[in-house]
Structures are given as C-alpha cells and as structure tokens.
C-alpha cells in the first residue's frame, strides 16, 4: 500500500482527532490511528471504545488498504516537518511503515488494521441539523455546570432535550444548574439524551473553527456528529435525568436587573477577599441598592 499526502494537511487532521486518545488503554491497538484508504480517500480513526472520531482527506493512492500507525510517534514526526508532500509506503507482510520526505526517510512499525475496533453504526436513528456556532455556544454555556460525581453519572454530562418547538440544553452538579433554551430551533419529534463530558470537550475545541452546519444523528445508545470532513460518534450516558424544572422558580416576585459588566467587575474585585475554601460572596439587596461583600 502506498499513498502521497500533504504533511500540513495530515497533521491538522490527526491533531483534530487526537483528543480521543487516552494515556492508558486496555487495548494496545487503541494507541494507534487507523489509516484506511478507499478509492483515493484516506480515513483516519481514533477511538477509546466510548468515543470515536474520524477524519477524511484526499490522497494520491492507486490501491486500497488499512494499517494501524502509532499515534504519538506519528504526531511527533509530523510536527517536525515543514509543508511538503509525504510518501507513505506500507509493507502488508510485516506492517512496516516508511515515510519518505524531502529531508530523508523514517521507518516505524504499525499493527494490523483489521484488529482495530469497528466503528459503531447507527442503523436506526433520528436526525437534526444545527449551526456549528449555535451548538458550540450551547456547550460553552452549559458544560461548566456539569458534575464529576461517579455515583451520579447522569449529572456528568449535558442533557439534550429536543422538542418540536424548541431545543433545551441542561447541566447541573446538584449545586448549580444551567438551562439554555433555543426557541428558534426544533426537532421533527420529541426526544432526549445525555452526552458525556469527553465528546462535549472535543466538540467545544473543534466547533469554533467550523463554518458549516452540524448534523446530529442519535438513537438510544449512541450519538453521531458530522461536520465538514469530521465525524464524532459517542456512547450516550444511560439513565434518567433529574427533573430540572422542579427546582427552577416559576413565581418568584423578587427580581433584580443590573448591568452585566458592572456586576461581573464587582464580583471579581470582592472575590479576592473571599474565603479560599468556600469562595462565598454575599449579596445584600436594599431597595435600589446592591451591596456585594466577602470576608476570609
């Protein structure tokens, strides 16, 4: 198997999906990227069994094939190259890999790509298309409020509630709760799922550079996000999300309207003097006056 690819284009793609990789894996094959060529298209896959990311790019290749290439070694090698075409030559008998560049040849040993875990398929799924900027904004506004309690895994992700008249994103750690609602978006039929923190962080880091829309496909066990030439598939958190509406006051007569920047600046200044353990800041409202205070 042999193919030619741009060094900078390849580096950008593998860096984009490398966030899936774990520092320690139960399966040694997961320390690799899976390279698969079909009809002149190179698909690169990274997986930790729970989350899988794929990126596609065009290459010059005369034959199909697949090989698992050590991820860290490949990343470190590609970072050392200036922009230039790289020729990958794969020996299918011993999975040897030779990378030829303008500055020399580099050899490394891969593994049998057939041993790489199969990418999950969503046979029956519902679909929704959303702008990348909107999804990125929803994740940024909710992810920080999700919990880390292993005993309550449903709170460790973000709850997607897809309605026929709105989309709602919710996160809570039982101390704080965020509900982000979009009335300008809707799903064909009502549904909901809980997305884990790791794929959310991956999407958060990537979607800021995506101009196109994101197609979300989901069923009872998995969700798939497709944007540009990248696909992310992840296993959903199983369980029933808490009734978040029950803790949101509906008839609270006490309201305060304040400049966001003025309030934020005051909190930042006063929080310097807050207790380092509790980080508590006291708000005292008297008539049209707000007093912000803290003490150690």
d(CA 145, CA 73): 36
Task: Look at residues 241, 237, 239, 240 and name the one whose alpha carbon lies nearest to residue 50.
Answer: 237
Q: Class of the 2-115 domain?
A: alpha beta
pLDDT tops 90 at residue 25: no
Task: Look at residues 273, 264, 265, 266 and name the one whose alpha carbon lies nearest to residue 295.
Answer: 273
Percent residues over pLDDT 70 in the chain: 100
Q: Sheet holding 158-162: strands in order across?
A: 177-182, 167-172, 158-162, 191-195
- Looking at 3.10.150.10, 1.10.3720.10, 1.10.10.10, 3.90.480.20, the CATH number of the domain 126-247 comes to 3.10.150.10
Radius of gyration of the chain from its Cα atoms, rounded to whole angstroms: 24
pLDDT tops 90 at residue 112: yes
At what angle are helices 197-207 and 132-142 packed, to 10 degrees?
A: 130
What is the location of CATH 3.10.150.10 in the chain?
2-115, 126-247
For CA atoms 131, 36, 202, 155, give the dihedral sign. Answer: positive
pLDDT tops 80 at residue 109: yes
pLDDT at 222 (0 to 100)? 94
Q: What average pLDDT does the chain have?
A: 92
Q: Which pLDDT band holds residue 69 (cuts at 50, 70, 90)?
A: very high
* pLDDT tens readout for residues 122-174: 877 788 999 999 999 999 999 999 999 888 999 999 999 999 999 999 999 98
d(CA 147, CA 270): 26
pLDDT tops 80 at residue 84: yes
* pLDDT tens readout for residues 270-295: 999 999 998 899 999 988 899 999 99
């Amino acid at each position: 198997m042999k193919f030619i690819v741009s060094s900078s284009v390849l580096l950008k793609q593998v860096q984009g999906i490398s966030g899936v990789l774990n520092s320690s894996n139960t399966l040694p094959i997961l320390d690799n990227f899976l390279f698969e060529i079909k009809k002149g298209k190179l698909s690169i896959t990274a997986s930790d069994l729970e989350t899988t990311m794929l990126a596609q790019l065009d290459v010059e290749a005369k034959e199909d094939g697949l090989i698992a290439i050590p991820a860290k070694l490949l990343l470190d090698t590609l970072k050392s190259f200036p922009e230039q075409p790289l020729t990958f030559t794969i020996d299918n008998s011993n999975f040897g890999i030779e990378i030829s560049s303008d500055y020399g040849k580099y050899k490394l040993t891969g593994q049998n790509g057939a041993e790489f875990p199969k990418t999950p398929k969503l046979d029956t799924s519902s679909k929704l298309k959303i702008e990348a900027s909107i999804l990125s904004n929803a994740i940024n506004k909710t992810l920080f409020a999700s919990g880390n309690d292993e005993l309550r895994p449903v709170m460790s992700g973000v709850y997607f509630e897809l309605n026929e008249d709105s989309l709602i994103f919710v996160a809570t750690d039982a101390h704080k709760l965020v509900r982000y609602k979009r009335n300008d978006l809707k799903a064909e039929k009502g549904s909901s799922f809980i997305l884990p923190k790791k794929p959310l962080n991956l999407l958060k880091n990537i979607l800021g550079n995506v101009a196109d829309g994101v197609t979300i496909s989901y069923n009872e066990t998995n969700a798939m996000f497709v944007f540009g030439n990248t696909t992310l598939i992840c296993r959903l958190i199983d369980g029933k999300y808490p009734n978040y509406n029950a803790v949101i006051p509906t008839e609270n007569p006490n309201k305060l309207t304040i400049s966001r920047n003025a309030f934020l600046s005051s909190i930042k200044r006063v929080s310097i003097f807050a207790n380092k353990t509790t980080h508590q800041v006291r708000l005292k409202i008297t008539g049209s006056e707000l007093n912000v205070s803290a003490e150690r």
